[in-house]
Amino acid sequence: MAGDLIAWSRPVPLAEAIRAGNYDLEADAATRARIAKALDLPSVSAMGARLRVRAWLDGAEITGAFHAEVEQVCGVSLDPFPVELGGDIALQVVPAGSPNAIGEESEDLELDPDAPDPPDVLEGEMLDLPAYVVEHLALALDPFPRKPGVSFDYEAPAVDLSPFAALKSLKRDGETS
């Protein structure tokens, strides 16, 4: 997880998170303001998630869904507009030093885009569920938002872009080649 996205954080020990099992998370107004600032959004009016944490190998599996109501800025008109976002969360985490962690030092690592993601490796024994929710929101944001009904109308200028266009402009009137 990116450190700059940790605008909503509530770390708990991994074993405690597994014992508790189910989590209903809702960000308060101050937290939503920090999330908006971290994600460069005008505002976040709602943010929450319902998650389930279960034991998985020597770590945990996190499943559930998040929902958010944010305001984005249109890339064409520069007007802010509301956007409702949501999505599923499904990931596994293992503690640092776990034999189930995929190390970056492996030279035989084959990348398969259809394979499931490897488990996240925790720093220590703490699990930070709200930080994962913010990370999933960041991934769900449209990087080129466009307000509904706004279109980008561009007509390229009629300019001769050939390599000889510059030479043609240097030719004097009435001169022949």
H helix and E strand count, the chain: 4, 7
Residue 136 reports pLDDT greater than 80: yes
Cα torsion 16, 18, 24, 27: sign = positive
d(CA 45, CA 152): 28
Is residue 103 in some structural domain? Answer: yes
Q: Does the pLDDT of residue 2 top 50, yes or no?
A: no
Does the pLDDT of residue 46 top 70, yes or no? yes
- Residue 173 has a pLDDT of 59
- Given pLDDT bands bounded at 50, 70 and 90, which one contains residue 176? low
CB atoms within 10 A of CB 46: 13
Number of structural domains the chain divides into: 1
Report yes or no on 176 lying in a domain.
no
Cβ count near 130 (within 10 Å): 24
Please check whether residue 121 is in contact with residue 104, taking contact to mean a CB–CB distance below 8 angstroms: no
Cross-strand partners of 86: 67
- Average pLDDT on 170-175 reads 66
Q: Let me know if residue 15 belongs to a domain.
A: yes
Digit-coded pLDDT (tens) for 84-110: 999 999 999 999 888 888 765 555 667
Residue 8 pLDDT class (50, 70, 90 cuts): very high
Task: Please report the pLDDT score of residue 171 as a whole number.
Answer: 73
**Domain interval for residue 145:** 3-170
Q: Do the domain assignments include residue 140?
A: yes
Q: Are 142 and 72 in contact (CB under 8 A)?
A: yes
